[in-house]
Amino acid sequence: MNGWQFNEGDEIADALRAVRLIGGGRRYEAYLAWHDHLRALVVVKVVRPGLVGDEPTLAGLRGEARALDYLAHPMLLRSFGGRLDGERPHIVLELIDGPRLSTLIRRYGLTLEQLLPLALNLCSVLHYLAHEGVVHLDVKPRNIIMAGEPRLIDLSIARFQDELAAVRNPIGTDAYMAPEQCDPALFDRLGAPADVWGLGATLYEALTRGRSPFRRGDERFPQLTQKPAPLPGDVPAQLAELVMSCLEHDPADRPRAGEIADRLEPVVAALPAPRLGRFRPTPKPSRRRRQNHQEVHS
């Protein structure tokens, strides 16, 4: 059995009752659930049945739980505990109501007025993570939920700085991985600049309505051999230069998240101020016009 197949009302764990399946990946399922103690809806991220004894999967869950317990930032979701062993290892997460950025890009695209404040928010959380010595390693549109305030989710492959030396295999999502995440010869350079690369790839995709900066053919990691394609000419030059600087091959050549925010602020300030149109009610027809209308339709 690939999934738990919980029905509404089934007990996932003590005080947690399933409402419905809302997502999942290769290693985990995500259920909307009712938490009896919190008296609130939450998300339960539970290891799939066939992987309950799989150490790498359990290590990922433990790592995510540890990171969430340690970190506190307005753009990171909150954790409400869980159980990391037993029949159904799981963590309990805050329910965030909103679409993923990947969905908005695919369906509607983003205007600059929407994208630039999002970029500042992402810089904020990446600056915080770097300051706390945590590397997310999977910054991408699918891991950003556009709620009232956007949230960066899924720390299942995040690493504390002192854990990066133990990385032995490529880590992340292929299209958003920095070169030093792809090539074992570069693993000793893993650090916060990898998340800046993920930010650059995310902003590039948002500015191009879903295009990748690299031509994806037979190569698994074209970012190791190719330079990113230029952004379209309608992207403001200052913004295009900044996004492309995030995609520099050498991590030492990429700006830090805080520096990106500093350079974005004047671009945001230059945006036209939002204006509300004046409401003009439709005038009521005069008595004579109403009479004429009635005569025409009588």
pLDDT tens, residue by residue, 217-226: 889 999 999 9
User: Would you tell me how many other CB atoms lie within 10 Å of the CB of residue 24?
Assistant: 16
Chain-centroid distance, C-alpha 86:
30
CA distance readout (Å), 295 to 6, 60, 82, 106, 289: 65, 76, 73, 52, 10
Q: Residue 30 forms beta bridges with which residues?
A: 23, 45
Mean pLDDT throughout 207-218?
92
Domains and CATH numbers, the chain: 11-93 (3.30.200.20), 101-269 (1.10.510.10)
pTM: 0.86
| Beta carbons of 258 and 123 less than 8 angstroms apart | yes
Residue 15 has pLDDT above 50, yes or no: yes
Tell me the pairing of strands 144-146 and 150-152. antiparallel
Mean pLDDT throughout 116-129?
96
| Beta carbons of 144 and 202 less than 8 angstroms apart | yes
Mean pLDDT throughout 43-58?
94
Residue 25 has pLDDT above 90, yes or no: no
